[in-house]
Structure 1
Amino acid sequence: MGGRALSRAVRHGDCAFHNITGRSLSRKFASSAICQRQGAVPSFTKTSTPELDEIFDTFRKKVFLPVHLSKAQRDLVFKTKYKRTVAAEPVMAGVAGEDFQLEHIDKTVDVPNTRKGIFKALHLMQDKRDWDNLPRFLTGLHQAGRNPAKFQQFMMVTKAAESGRLDVILECARRVSETGFDLSNPLLINKIVAKIRNAAMASDWDVKETKRALAWVEMVSAMLEDKRHAGGRVISHNDDPRTSPELIGILLELSAIRAARHLGGKDEDGKVAEYASRLLSLPLNLEPTAKSPDNLEDTYIANRWLRSVVPIVHGMKVAETVLDSSSEMAEKLKQKKIELEGFISQEREYVANSTFKREFRGIELCDKLLAERAA
């Protein structure tokens, strides 16, 4: 088949390359509009390490590009019988205005492992600017049908928080249709929200940090209404992440701290009252489970319980200083706070008296937030 016939065959998705001759193949052809993935092949900005650049470049050439090619072009790239053909003379493909020289790809050797690639990339993202590439990376993986496992999403949140780039996680979630980063897992949502509020707490509730944390958690709450995340008809409050006590409790905590510390003790925008009302309307089944004496697994469970519930109670405690003390809402909030403080005291004692020599975050939160005056 001559060069012109080859070009015509590729344009129309014809896979009959059986009679390719030695004539020139160095002509440019466009991917079939029917076969190719719409849009450009995700590209990356230069990172802080050559190793990370290499990972992104390998995924771009070996994983992302083939998704955008027509079937005929993919045959040319992947089928062994065309290996010498593409190696002998350059074959170009145009995708969204960008030209690519096609190369043979051995699926058993050249195509990178998704999980290993994600793991290596996350550990190499040391510079804050490196994280700008995460949405692009996830977009390419999503287009290729290689969405990260849930545990890798958790890892992304942890690493992004360590680098001060939780904004990138929110951007990935906002662009869920492109990145596939959905907020359907309640544990993932709680982790994101906790990391956001912990950053504000680490700043000693700085004005800017607290305001931003509240805005970001409100953004997460709003995104959950999207059906691509957790939106849709409410079946049960216990199963709906939009009505999670951890989420609403942190919204109350951040809004109350902002009002108490930065707005002269006044609930100027009504958010403290709003979130207190929402929290009290939920079935707050926050009583800890029974535990065996000095059991390692139970100790970890108790510690996690403290980490979840202490911020909620702290929010209630601060909200009391902002709301009208004579109001019915303030009284209900106080009664619920007293009930939960009793559980917290029990759980703290259980964790503190365990024989396991570890630093437990739950105890640290208790001592920092509840053993001192509100806010």
Structure 2
Amino acid sequence: MGIKFSSEATGTAIPTFTSTSSPELDEALERFRNELFIPLALPKRQRKSVFREKYATQLQNEPITVKISETEEFTLTPKTRHDLPSKKDALEVLKMMVAAKNFSNLFPYLSALRMSNYAINSDRWEYIIRKTSDAGKLSTIIECARQSQRTGLSLGNKNIARRLFFELHRTAAKPNSAGNPAVKALRLAREAASLMDAPEHSVEDIQDDPKHQPFVIGTLLELSAVCAQMNEADIDLVRGYAQKLDAAWSRGNFKDDAATSFETIERLEENLAIYNGMRLAVGLPKAAQDTGSFKTRCNELRDVLISQLQKVKNANVLGDKVAKKLLRPKPEQKAEENA
């Protein structure tokens, strides 16, 4: 017995996955597609046939085949909710993607998890952002944010925004990247900042809205200043971000008074790019008129950052290019900054 239906009729897209270099990952993705994503994407009547116990015997005796695309059919089999892959299993698939350094299926996979009501919390999003950054695939995260309604990724979450912009700061300093890493980082940062104007990425209180925080604006300032030094960005872009950072300064937290090492790391991740952005902008003559308070702020923030860096053991932070410069002996550090 064949029943044809279109996934468009239910408003639910059934994901398709491309082959990867990992047979184990391919097998896991196929399992999730067949055992979770397709059954939950079925129209209501077919879903009842699959999950209602009273239909189980009938379905076993009279299998139903449905057409889920022009080229693919799917045979319905009885299931219970306990038969479905677990949320723990779902996270294991993400770990497989990380191990394989293959994120080509990340967007359809995350979209399908959200469709299945398998929520990804902010800690897990931070993990995904960090690992995609390590693989040079942050553009995938921008796409997830662009289609927030499908993936659930909101840049209105401060922890997620902090992670993304710190990784963009790190991207600009990566050696041996294809193309110019700073230009790529600036492009992605500007795309992210533009997305943050959308309602799904906005926060009602400006004090809590990441896009109005110094760490977002400061990272944009840093990346635009780096690119301006290489004649890859207009100086007016630097001046604009300098003005915005000056206006947003009161919303930042630049004190060395964090209660825990974790909070100290968060502040370092926010403020390293701000410090470097101001330092670079001061050195651009055509931007000087918009950096009147930056030199004083740089000096104050440098001392705070050095104190904070001496308290932490986080490899990502201590391995940061700006952090390494700050931890150099003072004569060498000042020579570097004056160069």
TM-score by shorter chain over 0.5: yes
* CA deviation after TM superposition for structure 1 residue 305, in Å: 2.6
User: Are 1:40 and 1:96, in contact at CA under 8 Å, matched by a contact in 2?
Assistant: no
1:103 partnered with 2:71 = no
Higher deviation after alignment, 276-285 or 243-252: 276-285
Give the whole-Å Cα distance in 2 for the aligned partners of 1:358 and 1:68.
Answer: 42
Corresponding residue of 1:5: none
> What is the number of residues matched between the two proteins?
328
* CA deviation after TM superposition for structure 1 residue 223, in Å: 0.6
Unpaired segments of 5 or more residues in structure 1? 1-26, 292-296
* CA deviation after TM superposition for structure 1 residue 28, in Å: 1.2
User: Are 2:238 and 2:281, in contact at CA under 8 Å, matched by a contact in 1?
Assistant: yes
User: Are 2:144 and 2:153, in contact at CA under 8 Å, matched by a contact in 1?
Assistant: yes
1:367 partnered with 2:334 = no
- Change in 2 beyond 3 A, CA 1:286/1:72: closer
* CA deviation after TM superposition for structure 1 residue 214, in Å: 0.4
Which of 182, 192, 202 is 1:210 aligned to? Answer: 182
1:263 partnered with 2:231 = yes
* CA deviation after TM superposition for structure 1 residue 243, in Å: 0.9
Which of 118, 121, 129 is 1:157 aligned to? Answer: 129
Task: Name the one with the larger helix percent.
Answer: 2
Corresponding residue of 1:11: none
Give the whole-Å Cα distance in 1 for the aligned partners of 2:94 and 2:284.
Answer: 42
1:140 partnered with 2:117 = no
Give the whole-Å Cα distance in 1 for the aligned partners of 2:265 and 2:122.
Answer: 23
1:170 partnered with 2:142 = yes
TM-score where L is the length of structure 1 = 0.78
Question: 2:249 aligns to what SS in structure 1?
Answer: coil
Question: 1:156 aligns to what SS in structure 2?
Answer: helix
Corresponding residue of 1:46: 19
**After superposition, what is the alpha-carbon deviation per residue over 1:335-375, rounded to whole angstroms, capped at 9, x for unaligned?**
322332343344345x28xxxx7768358633326822368
User: Are 2:51 and 2:79, in contact at CA under 8 Å, matched by a contact in 1?
Assistant: yes
Query: Quick one: which amino acid aligns to residue 341 of structure 1?
Result: R
- Change in 2 beyond 3 A, CA 1:57/1:299: closer
Higher deviation after alignment, 64-73 or 363-372: 363-372
User: Are 2:215 and 2:270, in contact at CA under 8 Å, matched by a contact in 1?
Assistant: yes
Corresponding residue of 1:320: 282
1:85 partnered with 2:58 = yes
Corresponding residue of 2:293: 332
**After superposition, what is the alpha-carbon deviation per residue over 1:197-231, rounded to whole angstroms, capped at 9, x for unaligned?**
20221228997110010010111111111111126
- Across the aligned residues of Structure 1 and Structure 2, the Cα RMSD in angstroms comes to 2.9
* CA deviation after TM superposition for structure 1 residue 259, in Å: 1.3
1:55 partnered with 2:28 = yes
Query: Quick one: which amino acid aligns to residue 367 of structure 1?
Result: K
User: Are 2:281 and 2:288, in contact at CA under 8 Å, matched by a contact in 1?
Assistant: no
Which of 156, 162, 182 is 1:184 aligned to? Answer: 156
User: Are 1:157 and 1:166, in contact at CA under 8 Å, matched by a contact in 2?
Assistant: yes
Unpaired segments of 5 or more residues in structure 2? 328-332
* CA deviation after TM superposition for structure 1 residue 143, in Å: 1.8
Query: Quick one: which amino acid aligns to residue 71 of structure 1?
Result: K
Corresponding residue of 1:347: 308
**After superposition, what is the alpha-carbon deviation per residue over 1:233-255, rounded to whole angstroms, capped at 9, x for unaligned?**
5x33x211111111111111111
User: Are 1:325 and 1:331, in contact at CA under 8 Å, matched by a contact in 2?
Assistant: no
Give the whole-Å Cα distance in 2 for the aligned partners of 1:373 and 1:230.
Answer: 36
Which of 235, 240, 249 is 2:218 aligned to? Answer: 249
User: Are 1:304 and 1:362, in contact at CA under 8 Å, matched by a contact in 2?
Assistant: no
Give the whole-Å Cα distance in 2 for the aligned partners of 1:359 and 1:29.
Answer: 56
Which of 234, 239, 254 is 1:287 aligned to? Answer: 254
Question: 1:29 aligns to what SS in structure 2?
Answer: strand
User: Are 1:135 and 1:172, in contact at CA under 8 Å, matched by a contact in 2?
Assistant: yes
Question: 2:91 aligns to what SS in structure 1?
Answer: helix
Query: Quick one: which amino acid aligns to residue 323 of structure 2?
Result: C
Question: 1:164 aligns to what SS in structure 2?
Answer: coil
* CA deviation after TM superposition for structure 1 residue 92, in Å: 1.0
- Change in 2 beyond 3 A, CA 1:113/1:100: same
TM-score where L is the length of structure 2 = 0.85
